[in-house]
Amino acid sequence: MGVAVDGREPAAEIEAAAARWIAARDAAPGDPVLAAAIERWADGDTRRRGALIRAEAIWLTMAGANASTEAPPATRASRRGLLAAGLAAVAVLGGVGTWIGNERAATYATEIGQRRRVALADGSTMILNTASASSVAMTPDRRRIDLSAGEAWFAVAHDRARPFIVSAGDIRVEAVGTAFAVRRTGDDAEVVVTEGRVRVWSEANPARFSTLDAGQRAAVSRATGVAAPERVGAAVADALAWRTGEVVLDGMTLGDAAAEFNRYSTRQLAVEASLADRRIVGRFRAGDIDGFARAAAIVAGGRVEQAEGKIRITR
C-alpha cells in the first residue's frame, strides 16, 4: 500500500496493527496494561477502532464459537504491559503549573463573572467561562486539558497525530480538529459540539463511548456515561453565547435562569417558589444580574427586593 498521498495512515497498515493487537490480547487475555495500550492506539485515528473490532470479530470467527471468551483475571502486568507503560512516559515541557498525571501543566482560572480567552501553544483556542479552572499539558503525542471546574469552549487546531483530550473528572471528550464546549457540574458534564465531531466517554466505563457531531449536545454522567445526544442545531449558538459575554434564554424557567445568572455573580439571585416555573425568553449581558432581575420581575408579574447582598424576585 505504501504511503498515503493525503498523509492518512494506509488502511493496510491499520489492519496489520489491529491483527497484532488482537493476537497479543489473545496471548494475554485480561491484561489491563495491554488493554490500556490498545485503547491508546485506537484513540489515534477513528479508523483504528473500526479495524480493531473487525479484527476481533474475524478472530472470533476463526477461533470458533467453542473457544473460551472469558478472560482469566490478570494477576500482574506482563512484560509487554510494562513496556507499553514505559512508552507512555511523556516528555516534560517548560512552563509553570500543576501536574496532570506525569505531565507538567499550565493552569488557567477565572473568577466569578470573568471570562478568559487563551491561545494554546498548539494553535488551539480555549475560552474559559465564569468561575472556571483548567490545566493544559502539551506533549508530543497528546494534548490534555483538565477542566477542574466550570465551563470552557475549545476550537481545536487540527493535528491528527496528537489527540486533544479534555477531562472533566472521569469524563473524557476527545477531538482531533473541531470545536466544542464542556461544562462540568460535579462528577457530571455537558458537552456541546459546534464543529466537527468528538468522542465522549467516562473513565468509569471507557468502552461505552459516544460520538457527537456538530449541533449535538449530550449530558454525560460519570456513572452511566453519555445520555442520548440531543440535536440542538441553531440553538448551539445560544448555548455558547457566554463566549461573547451573553446569556440567551429561550423558554428557560425563571428558577433555572436565575441559577444560570448566579454563575456569573457574587450577588446571588433568588426567585420565590411560586414564580420559579414561569418561562422567560431574552438576551442579556451575563454580568448584568440586576437588569435580568428587573426584566424577569416584569415578565413574571413580581418585584425585585435587595437585601444583604442578595437579590430576590417576589410577588
Partner 1 sequence: MSRSVADHERPAWVARHILPHEAALRAWLRGAFPGCDTDDLVQESYCRIASVTDLAAIDDPRRYLFQTARNLALSDVRRAKIVRIEAVGSTADLEDALADDRSPERITAGRALLARVEALMDRLPERARRIVWLRRIEGLSQREIAAKLGVTETVVENDVSRSLRIVMAGLSEDDRAALRPNGGRRGRA
Query: Which position has the grid cell 500543576?
Result: 98
Our measurement of the distance from residue 187's CA atom to the centroid of its chain's CA atoms, rounded to an integer in Å, reads 12
Tell me how far apart the alpha carbons of residues 220 and 227 are, in angstroms, rounded to a whole number.
6
Piece of the chain touching partner 1 by CB under 8 A; list 117-125, 179-187, 222-230, 297-305 = 222-230
- Three cell numbers, residue 248: 440567551
Say how far apart CA 190 and CA 221 lie, in whole Å. 9
Out of 2, 7, 64, 94, the only residue in the binding site for partner 1 (CB under 8 A) is 64
Which of 3, 32, 39, 46: binder of partner 1 (CB under 8 A)?
Answer: 46
Identify the residue among 3, 60, 85, 92 touching partner 1 (CB under 8 A). Answer: 60
Residue 52 within binding range of partner 1, rule CB under 8 A: yes
Which is closer to partner 1, CB of 30 or CB of 291?
A: 30
Q: Which of 26, 203, 250, 277 is the binder for partner 1 (CB under 8 A)?
A: 26
**Per-residue string for binding with partner 1, 182-221, x by CB under 8 A?**
-----------------x-----x-xxxxx----------
Which range touches partner 1 (CB under 8 A), out of 58-66, 86-94, 166-174, 300-308? 58-66
Q: Which of 69, 94, 119, 234 binds partner 1 (CB under 8 A)?
A: 69
| Interface residue with partner 1, options 2, 3, 7, 11 (CB under 8 A) | 11
- For the bound state, the minimum distance from the C-beta of residue 141 to partner 1, rounded and expressed in Å, comes to 20
Looking at 47, 222, 243, 294, which residue binds partner 1 (CB under 8 A)?
47
Site for partner 1 in 226-265 (CB under 8 A): 226, 228
Residue for grid cell 449558538:
237
Smaller CB separation from partner 1, 139 or 205: 205
Q: In this structure, are residues 124 and 156 in contact, taking their beta carbons and an 8 Å threshold?
A: yes
Q: Does 285 bind partner 1 (CB under 8 A)?
A: no
Q: How far apart are CA 169 and CA 28, in angstroms?
A: 30
Q: Kindly tell me the sign of the dihedral angle through the C-alpha atoms of 139, 192, 224, 211.
A: negative
| Binding window for partner 1 (CB under 8 A); candidates: 47-55, 103-111, 155-163, 307-315 | 47-55
**From 33, 35, 55, 247, residue interacting with partner 1 (rule: CB under 8 A):** 55
Selected from 62, 234, 273, 307, the binder of partner 1 by CB under 8 A is: 62
* 193-201 contact pairs (CB < 8 A, 24+): 193/217, 193/236, 194/153, 194/236, 194/240, 195/155, 196/156, 198/173, 198/174, 199/172, 199/173, 199/174, 199/175, 200/171, 200/172, 200/173, 200/174, 200/226, 201/171, 201/172, 201/225, 201/226
Residues 6+ positions from 236 with CB-CB distance below 8 Å: 192, 193, 194, 214, 215, 217
Q: With the CA atoms of 7, 9, 12 and 17 taken in that order, what torsion angle do they form, in degrees rounded to the nearest 10? A: 160
Rule CB under 8 A: is residue 75 a binding residue for partner 1? no
Binding segment for partner 1 (CB under 8 A), chosen from 24-32, 119-127, 232-240, 297-305, is 24-32
Binding site for partner 1 (CB under 8 A): 8, 11-12, 14-16, 18-20, 22-24, 26-27, 46-64, 66-69, 199, 205, 207-211, 225-226, 228
